[in-house]
Structures are given as C-alpha cells and as structure tokens.
Amino acid sequence: MEQAKVGRRVGRLLGRVLQQFQPHERLPQLPPDQDRDDAVVDCALYVRGVRQPGRPAFEDAYGAARRRRNGFVWLGLFEPTWAQLAVVADLVGLDEAAVDQTLARDRRPAVERRGDVTVLTLRTARYVDHAELTATSEVVDTGAVTLLIGRHFVVSVRHGGAGALADVRGGLQERPTLLGQGPWSVGYAVIERMVELYHDVATQVEQDVERLEETAFLRVGGCDVQQIYQLKRELVEFKRAVLPLQQPLRRVTEPAIDVPPALRQYFLDVHARLNQVVERVGSCDELLDSILQARLAQVGLDQNNDMRKIAAWAAIAALQTAIAGIYGMNFTNIPGLNWSYGFAVVLLVMAAGAVALHRLFRRSGWL
C-alpha cells in the first residue's frame, strides 16, 4: 500500500513536470486521470555516494544534483511508453532519435555519445527452468537495458523480465566509495550484474549440453535431433547477448568516453570476466555441433540397419513367394503335382530355405 501511495505521488509529480514543457509533436496528451508512474521503478538522489532520504521526482532530484558537485540522480524505468521517456529526454537534452533508440527492444549491445550523454545498451539474459528439454522448450529468456549516462544523472530503461536492477541498486548503495565515483559507477555495476547473469546462464546451458551428450548415442530413450536443434537455437539467442558486448566494453575504457580514471580498472576486470563467458559459450556451441553431427550419423546408421533388416526379410519372403508362384501356375506336368507327399515336401523346402537364408543374414549382420 505504501508503494502504491508513493507511486501515485511520483505520477502526479511527473504530470506537473510535463506541464512545464511545450507539447512535443509526437507526445500524446494523456487524460488527467491516467496513471503515469507505472514505469518508474525508483528514483534517488546520491551525494558523495550516499542516498538522500525520500524518493523525489526526477526533475527535483536532477535539479538538486546539478547544484551539488558530487551529486547525481538515478532514475529506473521499466518498459516506459514513448511519452513517458520523452519527458525525461527533454529534461536532460536528448532528441527524438535517442528516445526511439532507447525504446528499441532488439538492439545489439552498443555504446555511443550523443552530445554530453552516453547511451549504453546491454542485453539481459536469464535461464528458464524446464523439467525436460523438448523441441519447443524455452531455455534462455533475453531482454534489454539501456543506460543514459550524463554528468549528473543515470536513467536506466529496462525491457523484458530478465535483468532486474533492484539488487544492483541495493548492492551499490552498500559501497559508498564506489558510488561516490559518480554516474559511471552505476554503469559499471549494471554491466557487472549482466556478466554475472551470463555466467549463471552459461553454467545451466552447459549442464543441458552434458545431459544431451549422455543420451546422444542411446538406441532407446536417446535425445532427438529436434531437442539438440532447439537448444542450439536458444544458445544462438544467448550468443547475441554476450558476444557483441565485447567491443562496447572495450570502448568504455577509451578516452573518448568520460569514465573516471578510478573506474577504468573495474571495467577492465569485468571485460576479462566477459571473455570467460564468451569462451564458455563458444565451447558449448562447438560441442552442440559435434553432438548434432554425431546424432545425425547415428540416425543414418540406424536407418541403414533398418533397411538391411527389411531387405533380408524381403529376400526370405521372396523365396516362399517364388515357390508358391510356380506351383500356382496350374500346369499339368509339374514335378510332384500328383505325388501324395508333394505338398508336404514343398512346404518343407520352403521352410528349409527360409531357415537357411535367416542364418545367412544373421551371420552377415543383417538380422
């Protein structure tokens, strides 16, 4: 109930902020009674690494941060609308293109400068528990988080259920020395959290791959090709989150990005941990390729064995068919046709021929 009350107060404050700006040509006019705070997860003012009391409106917190040398504000948003994000963008000096870019859910990891603001995009990931791997199992769920980092503010915009930042904020507030480095400390903490999640997902995926490897060559109850292919598809989605982050993370440590010198080593360390995830993902991908090729070869071998069995039984049946066909031609002068033991002898010849062919095929490995 207290959270709901706080949320409504923040919504009313955001509404007053909106009224102070000229209406944007793409900004819809929302009804007065429509709640506008549903996207706000948290908003806090930090001074010298310490969170100030309360949860102020972003406009008030940003104004206070600009008046303090060691202050900045962190606004957390979850799946905001274009209108909600446009209010914040106008306040910090970002254009429409930056708003559209921030709201894009399928962007690759990237870092770029837009005036005095750095736009850092990351992909989030989490492992989806499943009782067993099927041809349609969802293994990895991905989303996106974009950080707008300026001199006195950080705006985090998250899409998707993966990568919640509440723990990041709580952990960072327990490290005031790191938090005192300014907005880029939030950037580091978020990247560190994403890389930790990547490690967790990689561990779970490796276990799935090991289970597939154990059952790949079982003739009964073995894994299907569809299961291997589905896991490979999920791994490709995970790779799209992990691999492209390497270059942006290297760029963060370059002089073009105004990261405090004291934080550069932190980013180098997290980049090293990211490389470990990349290696693990690459190993899983290669092992899955090997399992898939081996399973396809096993399927082909099983099919070949089945065809040989079918051909062997067809040859045995062909002998019986040939003998029965000859004696069914109704010619008068067929040997043994008028013999009292002729029928029994023919049946005995057919049975002996079938047994002889069966033993021959068993000896050659066809049956």
Q: What residue ranges do the domains of the chain occupy?
A: 2-298, 307-364
Q: Is the pLDDT of residue 299 over 60?
A: yes
Q: Is the pLDDT of residue 14 over 70?
A: no
pLDDT band at 10 (very low <50, low <70, confident <90, very high): very low
Rounded to 10°, the helix 261-327/183-215 angle is 20
Note the pLDDT of residue 361: 67
Rounded to 10°, the helix 2-19/82-92 angle is 60
Phi and psi at residue 117, to the nearest 5°: -115, 135
Digit-coded pLDDT (tens) for 27-71: 333 333 344 467 899 999 999 999 999 899 999 999 999 998 889
Q: Which of 6-15, 191-200, 228-237 bottoms out in mean pLDDT, i.e. has the lowest?
A: 6-15
- First vs last C-alpha separation in the chain: 74
Note the pLDDT of residue 356: 80
Note the pLDDT of residue 36: 46
pLDDT band at 220 (very low <50, low <70, confident <90, very high): low
Q: Angle at the Cα of 160 (from 45 to 62), degrees rounded to 5?
A: 15
235 vs 310, more confident: 235
Residues of the chain above pLDDT 90, percent: 44
The two three-digit tokens of residue 280, written as one number: 């693990």
- Which DSSP symbol is given to 259? -
Note the pLDDT of residue 20: 40
What integer best gives the mean pLDDT of the chain?
A: 82
Strands 110-114 and 40-47: unpaired
- Residue in 138, 132, 111, 131 with CA at minimum distance from that of residue 237: 138
331 vs 197, more confident: 197
Bridge partners (DSSP) listed for residue 126: 141
pLDDT band at 286 (very low <50, low <70, confident <90, very high): very high
Q: Rounded mean pLDDT of 252-279?
A: 90
Longest dimension (CA), the chain: 122
Digit-coded pLDDT (tens) for 329-362: 666 666 766 776 767 777 787 788 778 877 776 7
pTM (2 d.p.): 0.74
- Residue in 31, 22, 179 with CA at minimum distance from that of residue 90: 22
From the options 1.20.58, 1.10.3470, 1.20.120, 1.10.260, give the CATH code of 307-364.
1.20.58
- Residue in 225, 229, 231, 226 with CA at minimum distance from that of residue 297: 225
pLDDT band at 255 (very low <50, low <70, confident <90, very high): confident
283 vs 313, more confident: 283
Note the pLDDT of residue 86: 92
Burial status of residue 240 (CB atoms within 10 A of its CB: 0-12, 13-18, 19 or more): middle
Answer for the pair 147, 159: CB distance below 8 angstroms, yes or no: no
Architecture of domain 2-298 in this structure = 2-Layer Sandwich (3.30)
Note the pLDDT of residue 148: 95
pLDDT band at 182 (very low <50, low <70, confident <90, very high): very high
Q: Rounded mean pLDDT of 166-172?
A: 93
Note the pLDDT of residue 279: 95
Pairwise CA distance, residues 48 & 185, whole Å: 12
Q: Is the pLDDT of residue 217 over 50?
A: yes
Q: Rounded mean pLDDT of 85-109?
A: 89
Q: Is the pLDDT of residue 81 over 60?
A: yes
Note the pLDDT of residue 146: 94
Could you tell me the strand order of the sheet in which 117-127 lies? 50-51, 40-47, 71-78, 153-159, 140-149, 117-127, 110-114
Q: Is the pLDDT of residue 271 over 80?
A: yes
Rounded to 10°, the helix 342-364/261-327 angle is 160
The two three-digit tokens of residue 274, written as one number: 């990211």
